Amino acid sequence: MRTPTKIKELVLKILTEQEQKELEKTEKENMKTIEEVFKALKEDVKIKELIEKIKSHKWIKVIEGKG
């Protein structure tokens, strides 16, 4: 897991042990959801087509140094 930020460190100090466990559980569930959505987007044919269309635009090529 990532190193806690200063804000998170302060929050963890004021939470009870049970609240900390609930927070950790929620963070894990959120990360799992994000990963599932990301995977679904990567595998979506229409999304892939749109990404390729965007990549082929001349300004994108200029920005990426390919044009």
Per-residue pLDDT of the chain (67 residues; tens, 9 = 90+): 566 688 888 888 898 999 999 999 999 999 999 999 999 998 999 999 999 999 999 999 888 887 6
Tokens standing for residue 56: 């082929």
Give the dihedral sign, CA 46/48/50/52: negative
- Domain region containing 40: 6-63
Does the residue 31 lie in any domain?
A: yes
- Total domains in the fold of the chain: 1
Does the residue 1 lie in any domain?
A: no
Does the residue 22 lie in any domain?
A: yes
| Cα 35 from chain centroid (whole Å) | 7
Does the residue 49 lie in any domain?
A: yes
Residue 10 pLDDT: 87
Q: What pTM did the predictor assign?
A: 0.59
Instruction: Dump pLDDT digits (tens) for 13-23.
Output: 898 999 999 99
Phi, psi of 15 (to 5 degrees): -85, 150
Does the residue 39 lie in any domain?
A: yes
| Cα 29 from chain centroid (whole Å) | 13
Does the residue 12 lie in any domain?
A: yes
